Chains A and B, each alone.
Chain A
Amino acid sequence: MKRLNTFPKGGIHPTDHKEATCHKSIQNASLSGTAVIPLSQHIGAPAECLVKKGDVVEEEQLLGRSGGFVSANIHSPVPGEVKEIKTIYLPNGIPAQAVVIEMQGEFSRLGKETVSQEWDSLSEEELTAKVSEMGVVGQGGATFPTHVKLVVPKGKSCETFIINAVECEPYLTSDHRVMLEKGSEVLEGIRILQKILKPGRTVIGIEANKMDAVEHLSGLISQAGYNMEVMPLKVKYPQGAEKNLIKAVTGEEVPSGKLPLEVGVINANVGTCLSVYEAVVLNKPVVERVVTVSGGAVCNPSNLKARIGTSFRTLIEDCGGFSEEPAKIIAGGPMMGFTVYDLDTPVTKGTSGILALTEKEVKAARPTACLSCGRCISSCPMGLAPSRLFKLIDHNMHDEAADNGLMDCVECGSCAFMCPAHIPLVQGFRSGKKILRKKSMKKAGK
């Protein structure tokens, strides 16, 4: 058998817990009576609010217009009346303006026949504009506005276009199910992006724990004769991290501090490709996404297609509620996701999963002193020495930490996962980076 590709340095093998949902087909989630739609569901500037209290909005009406170069449009997932515009805390702890809509009236699309549109005749600019208009952002979790990525700067070219279908986070199966159930749509989305980017080679990277998806997509591709290939990858976390995936697929290392285009690569998540298809072919903005609801505290773990703005509570109720008291509710996966304190937290474009984990699943021992076991070093996919970085930050030696590669840290959590002393390494790196960024901003200001 051919040896599967993976990234060579570091990486870990957490128990993946995907068996709870990987065989369950995508179900439609219920709608919350009130939808809470944050105006900042992406990296970059928040969208500018176009509605005010008392306005009546239709399904898919524009609520917020892209507020800058790196920003994205926000559409209303439901028809109804704007109750208020308030500040909420997103799962990552950042406050954001949110439009609260009380659902009422008719849906203009939901439950009706959809008409496919021809896109062969559209130019690259028109296609990119469509993607931008429909508010498509990266759905892998980083939520970088997709249309920004699609404009390749002069002097650079996209040699390899990599579709990230790795889904290396434990528990999550939303991308897996999308590939199995929406394979043709995903491939059409990829073809649209191919037309815009004109890559020499297109590779769909899928970890070998999803061989059914590998076979399904390979079958569709060979049937239609598309110019793309599926590459099964050896299972290892964090293969879905951009730079590690590029290394696994092409063997190239993106230089420290540079973007993937430096080695001629553009990445897109498989869910993003589906959004691109819906935006261009169905003329439909991003108002829903597939969310994996799982974890030991959930009665009936499921994959749900949920409207943006639906509360976590509604989705968990759709899964039969809690089977036991959860210790943590997580937005995203367990390795990089954020804990939320409130079940009224809404689903956003980047919510790939909602996990309710039990006390037993999250059990962590009390931190002890560093044992110098070296596991953080052998697990770091970026070749850093986390124990050393943490000590430097702890001693307020931030510049030395930067010299030792602090800014290269992708916060994947491999080191902290492995650490037997349970030292909060990633937390330390986040605060260290924040201080460094402030420092460099101050310097720039002077």
Chain B
Amino acid sequence: MKDSLLITSSPQFHHPQSTAGIMWAVTLALLPAGIWGVYIFGIRALFVILTAIAASIGAEALMGLISKEQTVRDGSAFLTGLLIGYNMPPAVPYYVVVVASVFAIVVVKWSFGGLGANWMNPALAGRIFVFFSWTSGMTRWTLPRMAGADTVTGPTPLGSVKSGLLSMSDSIKGPLDLLAAEGVPVTYMDLFLGKIPGSIGEVSALLLILGGLYLMIRRIVNWEIVVSYLGSFALLVWVFGGHRYGMGFFQGDVLFHLLSGGLMLGALFMATDMVTSPLTVKGMVVYGLGCGFMTYLLRFFGSVPEGVSLAIVFMNIFVPLMNRAFQPVKFGLIKTEKEAGK
């Protein structure tokens, strides 16, 4: 009896959520969107996701051997792999997936000391690295199975908009109009449900939103980041988004931009990564606003159709600065300062 009693420092019991628990909860929230991706893009999408997970876990285990500290079980490498898989086009060459995963784990995560020490979202960094290294492989988009077209690949809605803008007639009013004129018509419902070409896990806005809500209810995802990110982006699109179609202010197609590309996946699951987002609520709001602003800039003025991953990684850089700027206010501090001022 005596020897078996645990002697510990207080507190003597804990909130049930652990690091691994958080990782698996995020995985669970992501699953429906991934299953949808595999359903509409075919079994190859599943193999891409599995390759990414296997490569991430392999890299994590290898780094664990070198650092003599096995961390595979905390679930973070699995999640990084899953997110990399979700960020890949279904037809991407497998070696690109492996390179992205190994880069994410070894260079981005472990060269700074492993879990918690990286200052940039590993999955996004991996995606960006291979996007600029193997651009053609990373932009070969499989058409969803219900498209019914003869071709097996085609551009994403955002890609079509970007190219269509160059040779646009004056009568075009907004992105949906433009896509219809380009011969790739899309409805809001297609975007919402995910019947569009895109990365495996990003297409179904509906399932991503459901997963995100689950995580917000469990307080794993900070709604402050999500709301300030989506809110600021939507505001900018609404105010200035109509300009490229020759329309005035407040004419932008907010719904189209919220539902297309990697925005939902990015805003709900990538920008909210605990390690690379700010610590305090004020910091989170500023970070979210920055993400929204950068996404708008990159989407509307950048040379690539997407902007989410670059925007988030760009804002990741400022997180330490924000943590310094937005520190909590100590209890009993205001009073002493006031008194000192007297």
User: Which A residues are closer than 8 A to B by beta carbons?
Assistant: 9, 12, 14, 170, 243, 247, 253-258, 325-330, 334-343, 355, 357, 361-365, 368-374, 377-378, 380-385, 387, 405, 408, 411, 413, 416-422, 424, 426-427, 430
Contact = CB atoms under 8 A, between A and B. Distances in A.
Given A325-B4, A339-B8, A377 B330 contact: no
Interface stretch (B131-139, B160-168, B206-214, B277-285): B277-285
A362 B13 contact: yes
Contacts of A340: 5
Interface string B104-138: 00000000011111000000000000000000000
For B5, B222, B329, the residue with the greatest tally of chain A CB atoms inside 10 Å of its CB is B5
A326 B5 contact: yes
B19 A420 contact: yes
Nearest to A258: B332
B21 interface: yes
A383 B4 contact: no
A141 to B, nearest CB: 11
A335 B278 CA distance: 28
7 contacts: A9-B329, A14-B15, A255-B336, A341-B5, A364-B14, A365-B20, A417-B13
Contact of A327 (B5, B10, B15, B336): B5
B115 A371 contact: yes
Interface string B263-281: 0000000000011111111
B53 to A, nearest CB: 20
Interface in B287-310: none
A383 B330 contact: yes
B22 interface: yes
A253 B335 contact: yes
Given A368-B74, A385-B328, A338 B10 contact: yes
Contacts of B333: 255-256, 383
B274 A373 contact: yes
B331 A383 contact: yes
Interface in B5-26: 5-15, 17-22
Nearest to B12: A334
B71 interface: yes
B274 A426 contact: no
B10 A426 contact: yes
Contact of A383 (B12, B71, B281, B328): B328
Contacts of A325: 4
A242 to B, nearest CB: 12
Contact of B115 (A341, A368, A430): A368
A421 B19 contact: yes
Given A334-B12, A339-B6, A413-B11, A369 B332 contact: no
B6 A328 contact: yes
Nearest to A424: B9
Contact of B332 (A253, A336, A355, A424): A253
Given A247-B331, A257-B332, A408-B330, 13 more contacts: A334-B12, A339-B12, A343-B1, A369-B114, A372-B274, A373-B22, A374-B278, A384-B328, A405-B330, A408-B331, A417-B13, A418-B15, A420-B17
B115 A369 contact: yes
Given A341-B7, A387-B279, A255 B332 contact: yes
Contacts of A342: 2
Given A9-B331, A253-B332, A381-B331, A422 B5 contact: no
A430 B274 CA distance: 27
A89 B180 CA distance: 81
Nearest to B3: A341
B150 interface: no
A66 B285 CA distance: 56
B334 interface: yes
Nearest to B283: A374
Nearest to B21: A420
Nearest to B222: A374
A420 B11 contact: no
B327 interface: yes
A361 to B, nearest CB: 6
A405 B328 CA distance: 11
A362 B331 contact: no
A330 B74 CA distance: 30
Given A256-B336, A408-B330, A365 B19 contact: yes
A390 B85 CA distance: 35
Nearest to A362: B13
B170 interface: no
Contact of B275 (A12, A334, A361, A372): A372
Nearest to B334: A253
Which 3 interchain pairs have the tightest Cβ spacing? A413-B11, A369-B116, A365-B18
B18 A377 contact: no
Contact of B328 (A253, A335, A377): A377
Nearest to A359: B6
Contacts of B12: 328, 330, 334-335, 337, 339, 355, 357, 362
A424 to B, nearest CB: 6
B131 to A, nearest CB: 26
B9 to A, nearest CB: 4
A378 B330 contact: no
Contacts of A256: 330-333, 336
A254 B6 CA distance: 36
Contact of B330 (A364, A368, A384, A430): A384
B76 to A, nearest CB: 9
A339 B5 contact: yes
For B8, B114, B279, B331, the residue with the greatest tally of chain A CB atoms inside 10 Å of its CB is B331
A13 to B, nearest CB: 10
Contacts of B328: 9, 377, 380, 383-385
A372 B12 CA distance: 22
Contacts of B11: 334-336, 413, 416-417, 426
Contacts of B74: 368
Contacts of A416: 10-11, 14
Nearest to B327: A385
A381 B20 CA distance: 27
B13 A382 contact: no
B18 A422 contact: yes
B17 A336 contact: no
Nearest to A327: B6
Nearest to A244: B331
A357 B10 CA distance: 13
Given A326-B5, A369-B114, A413-B10, A383 B329 contact: yes
Nearest to A414: B11
Contacts of A9: 328-329, 331
